[in-house]
Chain A
C-alpha cells in the first residue's frame, strides 16, 4: 500500500531532551513537509524539502531541525531549544507539481513530561 507513515503515534519529552519524529513515504514524492498543529489552530509550516539533501525553513523553524538524506524519509528533531513543543505534528508529501495536493501522515502527538 502506498502512503505516508509517522512514528511514534505518541512521544514524551523530558526537559532538555532532543527527540526525533519519523516520517516515511513510498509515494515517490519529491516534496515533503512538517507542520505543527496546536489545539483549535490551523497548520503552521516548520520545514519543507523539495529534493533530497535540500530543505528550507518554514514559518516556525526555531527549535527544530530536519534532514533529507533519502527521498523516502524526512525526520524532524525537536531540540531542547524549543520551549513549548507540546503539539500535534503532521508530515505531508507531494509530487512537487503545483497542480497536485499534499497528502498527510497520521501524525505524532508530542507531550512534555
Chain B
C-alpha cells in the first residue's frame, strides 16, 4: 500500500520550479505532504481531502486526482530553504497513513 513518489531526487537553482508526484494503487481519502530536513522530524505542509478540500500553507500548492489516485506538489520560485526530502502520506479513510520513500530536493544558489 506504500505510494510511489517521483522523481526520487531533483536539483534546482533558486527561482526554478519543481513538481513532485505521488501515486497510489488504492482508493484514497486523503493525501498528506511533509518536508523533512536531515536529522529532523517531518514538518506538515498540506493535506488534500477527497472532495476537494485542502488545508495547508499559503505558499504551497498541490493537486489531488481522486480518480487516478495521484497527487502532485508544486514548488514555485524555489528558495534555498525548500531543500529537504518531501514525503507524501496517503490515507484511505482510516487513521493510518502510508508513506512514500521520499523525493530529495536540493536547491542551489
Contacts and interface: CB of A to CB of B under 8 A. Distances in A.
A98 B87 contact: no
A104 B41 contact: yes
A43 B87 contact: yes
B101 interface: yes
A12 to B, nearest CB: 17
Interface in B89-109: 89, 91, 93-97, 99-102
A45 B96 contact: yes
Interface size class of B (residues with CB under 8 A): 20 to 34
B58 interface: no
A90 B42 contact: yes
Contacts of A48: 95-96
A102 to B, nearest CB: 6
Contact of B95 (A88, A96, A106): A96
A105 B40 CA distance: 9
Contacts of A41: 101-102
A53 interface: no
Interface string A97-108: 011111111110
A78 interface: no
A98 B99 contact: no
A7 to B, nearest CB: 14
Interface of B: 2, 29-30, 32, 34, 39-44, 47, 49, 53, 55, 87, 89, 91, 93-97, 99-102
Interface of A: 31, 33, 35, 40-45, 48, 50, 58, 88, 90, 94, 96, 98-107, 109
- Across the A-B interface, give the 7 residue pairs with the lowest CB-CB distance, nearest first: A104-B41, A42-B101, A43-B99, A42-B99, A101-B47, A101-B32, A104-B42
